[in-house]
Amino acid sequence: MKSLSIFIIIFLLNISISAAAKSSSPVEAFTEIILNELKLYPEMQIQDLYKLGYQASYGSYHEAFDSVMAREWLDKEWDETPASTDLPVVEQINFSGNLVRVNIAAYKREGGAKETLLKAFINTAEKFTGSQATLIKYWEELTELSSKGIVKFEEEELSQYFKVKLNEKLPAVHHSSVYMDLYKPAYRVVIKDYIK
C-alpha cells in the first residue's frame, strides 16, 4: 500500500512539473524552484544555493564516484534518519523537472525501499550528463533575483561567491554549517523516473 502512495506522489509531481514546464520558461521555472527552496529552508546560505544550482546542473555526480561507497553512505544515513512528515518526499531541483531531491525521512514515511533509492542514485550518477553552462545560467538567474530584491542575498555577495567558485573550476560543495545544523539534510539527487 505504501509503495502505491509513493507512486501516486511521483505521478502527481510529474503532472505538476509538466504543467509548470508548459506555463513557464526555463528561467521562470528555476525562479520558482529557488523561491520554493527558500520557503522550505529560509536560513539557507549562499553556499546552499550554489549546491542547489550545482546539483540541478550535474545531478548526483561526484568525483571518484564509487557504488560501494554510495551503499555504505546510504546505509548509514538511512539508519540515522527517522521517518518524518516535515518534508515533501521529492523536491524538483531543475527546470526540466527530471531531477529531484528525494528526502529520506519522507521517503521512509511513505514506505520507500532503500534499495530502489540506492539504484536510482547510482543510475543517476552514471547516466546524467551535467553542464557547466547550465550552472552559470542558474547563477545568473539567482543574481537577477537579487537585483530585484526577491532573494535576501546581495547581488555583489552572489557575484563574488561565484567568481571564487569559477576560479576553483566550479567544484561540488557541502551544505553550509547553518543549513546542516538547522535542517539536517538527508536526501539523494535522482532522475525522477528512476524512483518509480
The answer to whether residue 152 scores a pLDDT higher than 80 is yes
Q: How confident is the model at residue 86 (pLDDT cuts 50, 70, 90)?
A: confident
Tell me what the mean pLDDT of segment 70-97 comes to: 93
Range name among 58-67, 82-91, 92-101, 187-196 with the lowest pLDDT average: 58-67
Residue 24 scores a pLDDT above 60: no
> Are 135 and 58 spatial neighbours (Cβ–Cβ below 8 Å)?
yes
Burial of 136 (0-12, 13-18, 19+ CB in 10 A): middle
Radius of gyration of the chain (CA): 16
Distances (CA, A) of 125 to 21, 66, 182: 24, 10, 27
Look up residue 129 and give its amino acid. T
The set of cell numbers assigned to 194 is: 528512476
CA distances from 191 to 56, 121, 143 (A): 11, 8, 27
By percentage, how much of the chain surpasses pLDDT 70?
85
Q: Which of 177, 137, 111, 153 is nearest to 54 (CA)?
A: 137
